[in-house]
Chains A and B, each alone.
Chain A
Amino acid sequence: MKLKSGFVLREVAGSCVVVPTGAELDFNGMISLNETGKTIWNCLENDTDVDAVIAVILSEYDTDEATARTAVEGFIEKLRKHGFLEE
């Protein structure tokens, strides 16, 4: 799975902001990412799976696997609901 194309990610005045563009993304709002969110987002820019993303989180943050799994799965589920992912 990976993110659809057309997202613009940028640091704006200290916040990490994502704006969807292009005809494919039917979403008018914008997204704010925290540190962890940004890490997961970056992973999903290339084709990957849940376990690979969890592995990245575990290598970058001081956390246990259960916590990482809850965070990653929750985040991915949100993206999926909005139709941001290509499966």
Chain B
Amino acid sequence: MKQYYRVADLIVEMDTFGRTLKQAEPYLIPEEKESDIRIFSVWDDLREIQPQLSDDDCEYLTTGASFYYQLANFDGLLLHSSAVIMDGKAYLFSAPCGTGKSTHTSLWIKAFGEDRVQLLNDDKPALRCIDGKWYAYGTPWSGKYDKNVNARAPLAGICVLRRGEVNKIEPYGGFSAVHALLEQTTRLKTPDYMEKMLELLDKLITAVPVWRMECNMELDAARLSHRVMSGESEK
């Protein structure tokens, strides 16, 4: 059945099933006349290419891909990262799979408590630029464990993580920062889309502080990234 959702302040029309239907439930809204994004289910196409995946996983992956692809039409993009909200601001930790994004944000929750830190989206937060300001959003597509909240917060910083013995954080810029972020977003083979992606990345990196951090799995890692990214160390 076709239903309407509000995701990243956009009206989304989707007819889905299984895990996707369940994870999207908190985003349900009453029927609307028009929608910004229409998601057509193509899970069976993916299933043909990747027969090892379940119908449910195919649905989840293709609906997510369709959403994030269309997000570009609304000055938005996906950044593969674990995102938290703390004191009303969003902080994103990005890295290739297996680096420990979720571990780092779970350290934030441990260090500062669940009433101060909320896990916004553990894998695929949506980012949007609205009137020159960047916001991070929870979405129904948030990785294996469905960890997301239907909320938004102004984006205060993005940190690219790498594992290390000693905790160290520094501003990140130039080509390697652009490269690191482009690797963690949606990439398509069409020139128009990539043109738009680069335009959005340019806006994002210009407006939002980007950091690079080497971190271990101690609570001190969370304390350090929070102190630097929130600007507390300057006070």
Contacts and interface: CB of A to CB of B under 8 A. Distances in A.
B85 to A, nearest CB: 25
B177 A6 contact: no
A11 B198 CA distance: 8
A13 B189 contact: no
Nearest to A5: B191
A21 B194 contact: yes
Given A19-B182, A21-B190, A22-B189, A13 B173 contact: yes
Max chain A CB contacts within 10 Å: which of B178, B195, B201? B178
A8 B195 CA distance: 6
Chain B contact residues: over half helix, strand or loop, or mixed?
A: helix
Nearest to A10: B198
A12 B180 CA distance: 13
26 contacts: A6-B191, A8-B191, A11-B202, A12-B178, A12-B198, A13-B174, A13-B177, A13-B178, A13-B201, A13-B205, A14-B173, A15-B174, A15-B175, A15-B178, A17-B175, A17-B178, A17-B198, A19-B198, A21-B188, A21-B190, A21-B193, A21-B194, A22-B191, A30-B179, A30-B182, A32-B179
